[in-house]
Amino acid sequence: MLDWYSGLTGYSAAKLKPDTLKRVSSTGEEKWCKELHVESVGSFDDTAIIGRSVPTEDMLEASRKYNLLINPVCLYISVNPIKYLQGHNVGGPSVEALGPMVTETIRHLPEKDRPEDAESKLFPALHRTRVDIAVMIDMGTEALVHEWLRFAERSSRSRHGRALVSGDTVYWGKHSRRWSFKAYGKMHDLKDHPPKVLPEKMEALREFSQGKLRLELCLRTPELKDRGTLTEDLVWEYMSKIEFAVMKEVRDMSKIEELPRPVQMTFMLWRAGTDVRFKLPKRTFYRHRQLIKKIIGEQFDIAFPVPDDFDKQAKIVNFDITWLKEHEIKVPAELMTANLFDEKRLKMWATH
C-alpha cells in the first residue's frame, strides 16, 4: 500500500498564506526571506504539511504533453494519504493509486487550505520527492514477529552499514538521501500510535494486526527520478539489497500465544539455548516453567537444555525473503473506510 507522499502538485497554492522567516541586517536591510510550511489538520487529527513552490520543468512538460493541471504557484504537500483520509494506515489502496490518493487528500484539506481548483476535472502534474511503500507479512504469532526483528537487528546489513534500532523498529539506511527500509510489528505500532477511529473499528484492527510484520520502503528523489508507476514489488527489490544471515526457526507454536508475553519471551530464550534458570528470579522461573509445561506440553521443560529431538516435534521454517513474500497479505476491505477515493476518478486516472 501507499504509506507516504511528499512532493509538488499542479494545484494552485496562490491563496495559501504561510508564515515567513526573514534575516535582517543591523542596518535594517533584508538579506533573505523564506516561506515556511503550514500544518493542515484533517478530520482524524492527522496533519498534512503544505506549502508553496514553483513547478519543475518536468511538470511543465508533462502538463503540455498530457493536458495535466499546472499553476505558476503550485502546492507542495507531505502527508500519509491513507491515514489522513481514514484515520489509520493498517491497510489502504496500492501505491499504484498514488495519483488519485494525493488528489483525494488535497480535496479533503480544510477549506482555508484547499486549492481553489481542487475540484478541477484535470489531473494535476506531480513531482515526487518521497514515496513510502508498505507490505504486511503474516508471521503467525507476535512472538515470531518480535524474534524476526531481533534477528534482523543482529544479523543483517545494507550498503549503509549495520541495521539501526529505535524502540521496536529496525532501520536500514535511516538517514539516506536515496532510499531507506524499516521493519516493525504492526500490533505494537497500533499501541504506541493509536489512530483516531471508532472503538469497534479499533478492536478489529488490533485483532487483525496480531502476528503481522510490517515492511516499509522509503524512496527519495534520486531513486524516483527515472521510475514510472510504482508497485509493491519494489519492496522486495530493495529488500534484496539487504544482506541477511539465514534465519531458521523451530515452530511448534500453535499454543504459544496462550502464554502471557513475559512467559513467551522466556520460552524463546530457552529455545535459543539460554539457560534461563540464571536469567530469572527463582520464583519467576518456576512460575514460567509451570505455565509452559501446562499450556504447550510437558516435554517443553525449561529446567533442562533443549532436547535433541526437539526438531521432530516441530516444523523448521526458513524465514528468508522468499518465505516472507509468500506470506504477504492484503488487508480485508471491511477494515478500511469506504470511499477512500472516488472510483470514477480512479478509473479516469488509470486510463489517462
DSSP per-residue letters across 1-66? -EEEEEEEEEEE-TT----EEEEE-TTS-EEEEEEPPEEEE-TTS-EEEEEEE---HHHHHHHHHH
Q: Collapse the DSSP code of 120 into the 3-class scheme (helix H, G, I; strand E, B; otherwise coil) and give the result.
A: coil
Task: Provide the pLDDT for residue 147.
Answer: 81
Return all residues near 175 (Cβ < 8 A) that are at least 6 apart: none
**This prediction's pTM:** 0.78
Residue 339 φ/ψ region, left for φ over 0, alpha for ψ in the -120 to 50 degree band, beta for the rest = left
In one-letter notation, the amino acid at residue 316 is I
pLDDT at 253 over 60: no
Cα–Cα dist 249/240, whole Å: 20
Task: Provide the pLDDT for residue 296.
Answer: 78
Whose CA is closest to 159, among 250, 51, 275, 238?
Answer: 238
Burial of 129 (0-12, 13-18, 19+ CB in 10 A): middle
Place of cell 541477511: 244
Mean pLDDT confidence for 252-257: 65
Cα–Cα dist 247/320, whole Å: 7
pLDDT at 270 over 80: yes
Identify the residue with better confidence: 78 or 46. 78
Task: Provide the pLDDT for residue 316.
Answer: 54
Task: Provide the pLDDT for residue 107.
Answer: 93
- What tens digit of pLDDT does each residue of 191-226 get? 888 887 767 788 889 999 999 999 999 999 999 998
Rounded to 5 degrees, what are φ and ψ at 133?
-125, 135
- Average pLDDT along the chain: 87
Task: Provide the pLDDT for residue 50.
Answer: 97
| Domain positions in the chain | 2-17+35-247+325-344, 248-318
Contact 76, 50 (CB under 8 A): yes
pLDDT at 350 over 50: no
Residue 63 φ/ψ region, left for φ over 0, alpha for ψ in the -120 to 50 degree band, beta for the rest = alpha
What percentage of the chain carries pLDDT values higher than 70? 89
- What tens digit of pLDDT does each residue of 139-196 get? 988 878 888 898 888 888 888 888 999 988 999 999 999 999 999 999 999 988 888 7
Task: Provide the pLDDT for residue 14.
Answer: 93
Whose CA is closest to 51, among 68, 34, 33?
Answer: 34
Place of cell 527500509: 181
Confidence of residue 55 (pLDDT cuts 50, 70, 90): very high
